[in-house]
Amino acid sequence: MAFTKKTVRDADVDGKRVLVRVDFNVPLKDGVVTDDTRVRAAIPTITYLKEHNAKVILMSHLGRPDGTGYQEEFSLKSVAAKLAELTGYAVTFVPDTYGQVAADAVAAMQPGDVALLENVRFDKREKKNDPEIAKTLASYGDVFVLDAFGTAHRAQGSVVGPAQFLPAYAGFLLEKEVDTLTSIFADPARPFVAIVGGSKVSSKIGVLDHLIDSADTLIIGGGMAYTFFLARGCTVGTSLQEPDWIERAGEMLKKAEAKGCKVLLPVDNVVADHFGEDATGEVVDSDKIPDDRMGMDVGPKTVANYAEAIRGAKTVFWNGPMGVFEFDQFAKGTEAVARAVAEVKAAGGTSIIGGGDSVAAINKFGLADKMSWISTGGGASMELVEGKALPGVEALLDA
């Protein structure tokens, strides 16, 4: 699907004040950025604007402050330093967002300057999408650019507000994310294999429902698999299960069959006597899960089946780990699937990963650079894959 909104390439930014909403919601430990993925992801847009002679005014949220004013642990100051370090640009940190200090700092900028305002969520009106703060933020710019993909599903002041007052364009990250994640429903190279795991079927039902419309094969793993077992009339011991969702799971299986989407479920599992790092694990077939055991990972026969299906794919979308990968003992299924997915790109196919824990798993196994695209947005990527429109994107100018 072609991106249907105007992008920074369409904007006249020469000498203009360009207000850019980025997603610099990075993990901090003792004031140091521990994962700079999201900062790096915003650099192409920032560089483009700087090179096209714009005054680049960046804004973001970070974490969940109270919304009652400055809180040191949520300050973006160290992120400004990280951006300067990664780009070599002088980045002015402005210790204010909605007040005179911010307005004065913007007024003093020259073309090519880059500044980062303080956390937009230090004022609770941001999350309430208050028109006053949208107006204040818009007064800093001539043009608005949204590049905060990870927040584009939130109709909040700095995400959707400035578009009411300024011509609004997508940044390169936003464009690439939306393009990539919607491409799996448009005209994916086939076979298209979708892999969905994680803990709960209830949180993934929209994702499953939409993926079944497009995928040739749907691989199911993780805790959610056990609710599907119940839908097929099998017992699951003490495995994670959602009784209220058995019927919906059964409907998904029926829909897949009707659509010609092949569903693969685990044929064996690593089960444990309790949920813990020190649990005793053993492999059992899916129809022989003891009453007092819980499924923690997919088993070796399942891994072989899944790897074979994945290796034959031209397009793979993956969301949700295959087991409790946080415990090394139960990480094998997720790792093996990650390794199979990593071969797809090398073989000329496309592998797309979405979801916070799935990305963490891939990073844990050191496979990030072997994937075609790893989404920077957890919730936003899931909403796109569910087929929902993102309010931030909707607010931009149509191409």
58 binds, options ligand ADP, Mg ion, none, Cβ within 5 to 8 A by partner type: none
**According to CB under 6 A, which one of 357, 373, 384, 385 is a site residue for ligand ADP?**
357
Catalytic: which of 77, 124, 200, 314?
200
CA distance 97 to 312: 51
Q: Which two tokens stand for residue 357?
A: 């824990």
Closer of 89 and 327 to ligand ADP (Cβ): 327
Catalytic: which of 67, 112, 356, 387?
356
146-to-7, 25, 125, 158 alpha-carbon distances in Å: 9, 15, 19, 9
| Residue 16 known to be catalytic | no
Contact call for residue 333 and ligand ADP (CB under 6 A): no
240 binds, options Mg ion, ligand ADP, none, Cβ within 5 to 8 A by partner type: ligand ADP
CA distance 103 to 80: 18
| Residue 223 known to be catalytic | no
Q: How far is the CB of 347 from ligand ADP (least distance, A)?
A: 24
For residue 38, give every residue at least 6 positions away whose Cβ sits within 8 Å of its Cβ, in sequence order, or none: 22, 23, 24, 25, 26, 150, 376
Q: Which of residues 345-364 bind Mg ion (CB under 5 A)?
A: 356-357
95 burial (CB, 10 Å; 0-12 / 13-18 / 19+) is middle
245-to-222, 240, 265, 383, 388 alpha-carbon distances in Å: 15, 12, 17, 20, 22
| Residue 21 known to be catalytic | no
Q: How far is the CB of 223 from ligand ADP (least distance, A)?
A: 3
**According to CB under 6 A, which one of 161, 188, 266, 320 is a site residue for ligand ADP?**
320
Closer of 93 and 317 to ligand ADP (Cβ): 317
What is the per-residue burial (b if ≥16 Cβ within 10 Å, else e) of 222-231? bbbbbbbbbb
- Contact letters (x/-) for ligand ADP, 136-165, by CB under 6 A? ------------------------------
Q: How far is the CB of 72 from ligand ADP (least distance, A)?
A: 29
Contact call for residue 321 and ligand ADP (CB under 6 A): yes
| Cis upstream peptide for 191 (omega within 30°) | yes
Q: Report which secondary-structure segment, H or E, holds 342.
A: helix 332-346
320 binds, options Mg ion, ligand ADP, none, Cβ within 5 to 8 A by partner type: ligand ADP
**According to CB under 6 A, which one of 250, 300, 356, 387 is a site residue for ligand ADP?**
356
388-to-5, 118, 121 alpha-carbon distances in Å: 16, 30, 25
Ordered DSSP codes for 152-217: TTS--HHHHGGGGTS-EEE-HHHHHHHHHHHHHHHS--SSEEEEE-SS-STTTHHHHHHHHHH-SE
Q: Which of residues 199-258 bind ligand ADP (CB under 6 A)?
A: 199, 203, 222-223, 240
Q: In the bound complex, which residue of the shown chain has the CB atom lying closest to Mg ion?
A: 357
**According to CB under 6 A, which one of 150, 157, 161, 198 is a site residue for ligand ADP?**
198
Q: Is 217 within 8 Å of 261 (Cβ atoms)? A: yes
Contact call for residue 300 and ligand ADP (CB under 6 A): no
Q: How far is the CB of 260 from ligand ADP (least distance, A)?
A: 26
| Residue 222 known to be catalytic | no
Q: How far is the CB of 373 from ligand ADP (least distance, A)?
A: 15
64-to-124, 152, 317 alpha-carbon distances in Å: 10, 17, 30
Catalog residues that contact ligand ADP under the rule CB under 6 A: 198-199, 203, 222-223, 240, 295-296, 319-321, 323-324, 326, 355-358
Catalytically annotated residues: 38, 200, 356, 379
Catalog residues that contact Mg ion under the rule CB under 5 A: 356-357
